[in-house]
Amino acid sequence: MSELSDRQRAAIELLEAAAQVAHDIVHKPAGEVVDTESGPSPTFQTLSGLILDLVGGLLLPRRVAIASAGPALALDVAYTAGMSFFDVTLDQPNCALTFLNTAVPAGYTWSFTVRLVQGTGANQVTFPAAIHWPAERPPLLSYESGSADLVTFTWDGAHWLGLHEGSWFNVSNPA
């Protein structure tokens, strides 16, 4: 077998270096940076974390708990925030509910669910007037302390639709 020429040796060294960089990008943990000839590069784990953060709750929906709704509650329902489940405890006789950041890009839809838990019992919710309900009526909520209602809101491209998913879920005792 003949010896390698200088060009062949240099090409092999470049390939080995490129293989090591590719290995590092794939296998190093999130937060580390891999130095490449074109500059620093994040690892795949870092990139997957960034992508998950960018798409928010679209791949893995997030839940936010609100222990005290008070007399008025504004929920940030921006699709970019990724919050798609709001767990709200009602603690006042009436809570005026509003939604912030409701814009959804054309051609897309977005849904989020609100679980309304009766903290003190017999609390009512005033929903945003622009919500379109079946039979044009917002839901009648459960009224016993510890019971809950699920309400889902969906953007259909022109309106926010409200759908009462169910009532009287017993959330006072863990399953």
Q: Which of 54, 71, 93 is the last residue of a domain?
A: 54
Q: How far apart are CA 56 and CA 79, in angstroms?
A: 7
Which residues of the chain are under the pLDDT cut of 70?
A: 1-2, 52-60, 173-175
Residues 158 and 91 in one domain: yes
Q: How far apart are CA 73 and CA 119, in angstroms?
A: 15
Nearest to 13 by CA among 37, 48, 42: 37
The two structure tokens encoding residue 76: 């940030």
Structure confidence at residue 55 (pLDDT): 63
Residues 28 and 98 in one domain: no
Residues 68 and 130 in one domain: yes
Is residue 127, in this structure, part of any structural domain at all? yes
Structure confidence at residue 49 (pLDDT): 77
Residues 24 and 78 in one domain: no
Q: SS3 for the chain, per residue? A: CCCCCHHHHHHHHHHHHHHHHHHHHHHCCCCCEEEECCEEEECHHHHHHHHHHHHHHHCCCEEEEECCCCCEEEEECCHHHCEEEEEEEECCCEEEEEEECCCCCCCCCEEEEEEEEECCCCCEEECCCCCECHHHCCCCCCCCCCEEEEEEEEECCCCEEEEEEEEEEECCCCC
Residues 83 and 50 in one domain: no
Q: How far apart are CA 121 and CA 99, in angstroms?
A: 23
Angle formed at CA 20 by CA 16 and CA 26, multiple of 5 degrees:
145
Structure confidence at residue 45 (pLDDT): 86
Q: How far apart are CA 100 and CA 92, in angstroms?
A: 21
Structure confidence at residue 53 (pLDDT): 66
Nearest to 96 by CA among 129, 121, 126, 136: 126
Total number of domains constituting the chain: 2
For 12-41, how does the pLDDT look when each residue is reduced to its tens digit (9 = 90+)? 888 898 889 888 888 988 888 998 888 888
Structure confidence at residue 127 (pLDDT): 98
148 phi/psi in degrees, rounded to 5: -140, 155
Residues 95 and 129 in one domain: yes
- Residue pair 25/34 in contact (Cβ under 8 Å)? The answer is yes
- Tell me which residue range forms the domain holding 139: 61-170
